[in-house]
Structure 1
């Protein structure tokens, strides 16, 4: 009913799946984009092997859906990722999940959408693919910061 009325519903994390919250600046550092776009979504989909990703343009964040166990099995890496504002969300957290037909950025509403639609109910992003994306994004952001630093 929430999907019909609002285009979004809140689902609990940590049972069927969890989510890795990625800041938009990290995603754009990897994809070379300037903001949410079909091009950014395509690169993101390729980098994550077609695993599902939700974009929240209003909050400037992306959410890669991952196995429910990731917050505990990857806890040490997750601690390291926090320096670039990445977090792994699991139990006791809810995620706003858009209707399955919302698959494109709408500049009028800035509503959340599926940047990479879920190909099937059982398909999630591989944790190693997410970790690689974060590593590349972190590297790109560090390089940019070094270039912008006065000599």
Structure 2
């Protein structure tokens, strides 16, 4: 999985060194993956808890596979999605939600950082190389969070992607 993630780095050797030195490597979005950045408050509203460990269990149960990184310092969750999503889906009307595609970068923790400690960790572990979140599940989670927060905004529909866009 680490090798697959490093394939998203502009320079895999530099990214590996970043993991060794800082525990976080910078990966480019839009090549092998994109990411949907979601404010913690929206995820916690959907999960019905602000406890990180409980929210992680909720996310694991909600998603049918995929991987999610949590940046504790910034309080953002990053749902890893197929690269094409960064070009096709632009969420509007949802404060703080952004689909990161070409030209965007994402700090990704070491694969074994799976508990809510340090700067960032895997809230939902990647269980195999290329295992990405299904965009419609992410959109449904956003809707649930918006509803729980009492917002009237409905996320724009995500483009339908087939299995060929995953992994």
Under a length normalisation based on structure 2, what TM-score does the superposition of the two structures give? 0.77
Partner of 2:67: 52
Residues 1:70 and 2:70 are matched in the alignment: no
User: 1:63 aligns to what SS in structure 2?
Assistant: strand
Alignment gaps of 5+ in structure 2 = 1-16, 152-167
Deviation of 1:56 after TM superposition, in Å, equals 0.5
Q: Which runs of 5+ in 1 are unaligned?
A: 144-151
Aligned partner (choices 137, 140, 147) of residue 129 of structure 1? 137
Contact 1:84/1:138 (<8 A) preserved = no
Runs of 4+ with deviation above 4 angstroms: none
Relative contact order higher in (CA < 8 Å, ≥ 6 apart): 1
> How far, CA to CA, are the matches of 1:15 and 1:116 in structure 2?
21
How many positions carry a matched residue from both structures?
Answer: 135
Structural RMSD (CA): 1.3
- The question of whether the paired residues in 1 share the 8 Å contact of 2:87 and 2:102 is answered with no
- Matched residue, 2:26: 10
Q: Which position in structure 1 is the counterpart of 2:37? A: 21
SS of the equivalent of 1:128 reads: helix
**How far did residue 71 of structure 1 move?**
2.4
Partner Cα distance (1:99, 1:4) in 2? 9
Q: CA deviation at 1:49?
A: 1.5
Could you give the per-residue CA deviations for residues 81-119 of structure 1, whole angstroms, max 9, x where no partner exists? Answer: xx332110011011000000100012xx3x200000111
1:140 to 141, 148, 151: 148
Counterparts of 1:3 and 1:87, CA distance in 2: 25
**For 2:74 and 2:20, how far apart are their aligned partners in 1?**
22
1:95 aligns with 2:103: no
